């Protein structure tokens, strides 16, 4: 478990085309809760097992994609130290004042070479619903929909992921839990800042700044099956699954929100320790790495991004 530095993913802001349809999807189907709507129309959501103010931000736009992903750091002093290290690495930094999003303290933002904006912050207010902390039952509000427990990670597509790997390891203190190598070089990386198999991942892609998926944790393989039932019952556009990954060992299903942003719900996966060696896959087993049971790739899974 991380005790200093980067603790974990914070929140992600995505663009949606139709806010009412997006809210129905993320609240009724995935099982999130609406925290509030801001004066600018952005809607703030969270899962029932999360303490902090929000983990998902929806913004209406004319094109689906991701605006940025944030990570929470342990302290204001860590935030200042990371800013110095980011600037020393050669990336320009900007500052987002406290309160730009409700319940969130000041943020430090920067754009990595793959074209993705990343932000760091140290403070978040708590909001309801949140887990009990005194004689705690397993949930404070009855789960609904797919019963998402938390926003867990995101996978991004973009160029120059070799530099992303170098930056996240040297500057932010992440470790590379798994990677895929090909004769043409590094194809994909799964990076962890704690004890999860990954908190953020990147796949090499010619276009910068692309979102492959945002992922929500479920409790069990049975819950992944329940999510598949919901996907079928409400005719949600499905990509692949239910199945299992070789990489991370997660049990998974992929599908799309009404705007075309890919979602994942997953369960399981191994525990990662910082002293573990990096698990490496090569091109001969890449199908098994991505979809362990099918042992072959899905063309839409590789090519469809927002």
Catalytic center residues: 153, 198, 213, 245, 254, 264
What are the phi and psi torsion angles at 226 (to 5°)? -65, -40
d(CA 130, CA 52): 8
**Nearest-CA neighbor of 146 among 256, 249, 264, 258?**
264
What the block records as the tokens of 254 is 């992929």
The closest alpha carbon to 236, from 26, 19, 18, 20, belongs to 26
Instruction: Check: CB of residue 282 under 8 Å from CB of residue 181.
Output: yes
| Residue 283 DSSP class | G
The token pair that represents 291 in the structure block: 């979809």
Specify the pairing of strand 262-268 against strand 250-256: antiparallel
- Where would I find the H helices in 111-256? 161-170, 221-233
DSSP class of residue 285 equals: G
Q: CB within 8 A of 173, min separation 6: which ones?
A: 5, 6, 193
Q: Determine if the peptide bond prior to 113 is cis (ω within 30°).
A: no
Q: What's the number of CA atoms in the CB half-sphere (13 Å) around residue 209?
A: 10
- Evaluated on CA atoms 234, 287, 269, 281, the torsion sign reads negative
Query: Dihedral through CA 47, CA 6, CA 132, CA 147, nearest 10?
Result: 20
Q: 244 vs 83, 149, 158, 254, CA distance in Å?
A: 38, 19, 24, 11
């Amino acid at each position: 478990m991380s005790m200093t530095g980067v603790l974990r993913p914070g929140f992600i802001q995505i663009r949606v085309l139709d806010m009412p349809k997006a809210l129905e999807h993320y609240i009724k189907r995935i099982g999130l809760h609406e925290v509030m709507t801001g004066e600018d129309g952005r809607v703030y959501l969270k899962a029932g097992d999360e303490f902090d103010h929000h983990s998902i931000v929806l913004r209406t736009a004319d094109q689906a994609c991701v605006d940025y992903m944030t990570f929470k750091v342990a302290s204001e002093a860590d935030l200042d130290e990371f800013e110095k290290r980011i600037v020393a690495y050669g990336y320009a930094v900007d500052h987002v004042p406290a309160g730009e999003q409700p319940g969130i303290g000041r943020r430090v933002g920067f754009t990595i070479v793959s074209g993705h904006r990343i932000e760091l912050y140290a403070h978040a207010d708590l909001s309801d619903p949140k887990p009990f902390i005194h004689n705690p039952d397993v949930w404070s509000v009855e789960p609904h929909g797919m019963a998402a427990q938390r926003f867990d990670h995101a996978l991004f597509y973009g160029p120059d992921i070799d530099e992303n790997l170098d930056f996240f390891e040297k500057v932010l203190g992440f470790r590379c839990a798994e990677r895929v190598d090909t004769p043409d070089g590094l194809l994909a990386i799964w990076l962890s800042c704690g004890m999860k198999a990954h908190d953020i991942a990147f796949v090499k892609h010619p276009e910068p700044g692309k979102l492959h998926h945002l992922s929500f944790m479920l409790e069990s393989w049975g819950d992944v099956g329940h999510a598949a039932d919901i996907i079928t019952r409400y005719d949600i556009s499905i990509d692949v699954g239910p199945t299992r990954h070789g990489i991370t060992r997660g049990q998974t299903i992929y599908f799309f929100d009404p705007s075309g942003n890919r979602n994942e719900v997953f369960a399981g996966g191994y525990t990662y320790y910082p002293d573990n060696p990096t698990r490496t896959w090569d091109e001969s087993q890449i199908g098994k790495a991505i979809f362990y049971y099918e042992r072959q790739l899905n063309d839409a899974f590789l090519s469809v991004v927002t």
